[in-house]
Amino acid sequence: MLKNKLVWILFAVVSLFPVVSRAAEDSPAGRWWRLPQVAAQLNLSEQEKQQLDSLYLENRKKLIDLKSSLERERLVLEDIMDNEPLNEQQAFEQFRKLNKVRSILVEERFRYFLEVRKIIGSDRFQKLKLLADAFRKRDRFGRE
């Protein structure tokens, strides 16, 4: 019963977590700036493309590391929750740890979005969002 309550509490905290990266979730995946039609529509220079390449590589490296960390912390939490007797304090501590990694992950996604916005500027950023919507409606971004 205690475990059930704890699980409920953990999920309540999770659901209250602010979704900072909502906009980032809507951003197209991959190196969309390398698609000829997108690059042409946004009038991207080769220098900007290279900046986006570097940003993408760095961001994805961090995201992969953070994802692994998050999964590892989740596994530890799962193990704590399976222990008998249950150590409630330890479980919460682990959950906070997990949540911290998660918040860093969300922040990193948002940072990527922010950097893209800085590289391409306001106007093209708005255009990119419209393009992303349009492409998403065609199933996938830039693919048919």
Partner 1 sequence: MRRDEQGHLNKDELVMAVVGEAGLAEEMRKHLALCRHCVAEKERLARDLAVLGEMAKGFTPPLRKTVIIPDEQFFRHSRPWGWRLAFGTTLATAVVVIMLSLFLFRPTPGVNLAALNKEMLSDERLMTEISMLENNPMPPKWEAIAGETDSTVDEAFIDFVVPLGADDEVS
Token pair of 111 as six digits: 């940072």
Element (H, E) at 99: helix 88-137
Spell out a b/e string for 2-14, using b for 16 or more CB atoms within 10 Å of the CB, else e. eeeebeeebeeee
Please, which residue, 4 or 122, has the CB nearer to partner 1?
Answer: 4
Please, which residue, 14 or 130, has the CB nearer to partner 1?
Answer: 14
Please, which residue, 4 or 47, has the CB nearer to partner 1?
Answer: 4
CB 125 within 8 A of CB 116: yes
Please, which residue, 47 or 122, has the CB nearer to partner 1?
Answer: 47
CB of 48 to partner 1, least distance (A): 12
Alpha-carbon Rg of the chain, whole angstroms? Answer: 20
- Name residues whose C-beta falls within 8 Å of residue 51's C-beta, 6 or more positions apart in sequence: 119
Please, which residue, 105 or 124, has the CB nearer to partner 1?
Answer: 105
128 CB burial (10 A radius; 0-12, 13-18, 19+) = buried
CB of 41 to partner 1, least distance (A): 15
Identity of residue 89: Q
CB of 16 to partner 1, least distance (A): 13
CB of 63 to partner 1, least distance (A): 6
Give contact residues for partner 1 (rule: CB under 8 A).
1-4, 7-8, 10-11, 14, 19, 21, 25, 28-32, 34-36, 39, 49, 60, 63-64, 67, 70-71, 73-75, 77-78, 98-99, 102, 105-106, 109, 140-143
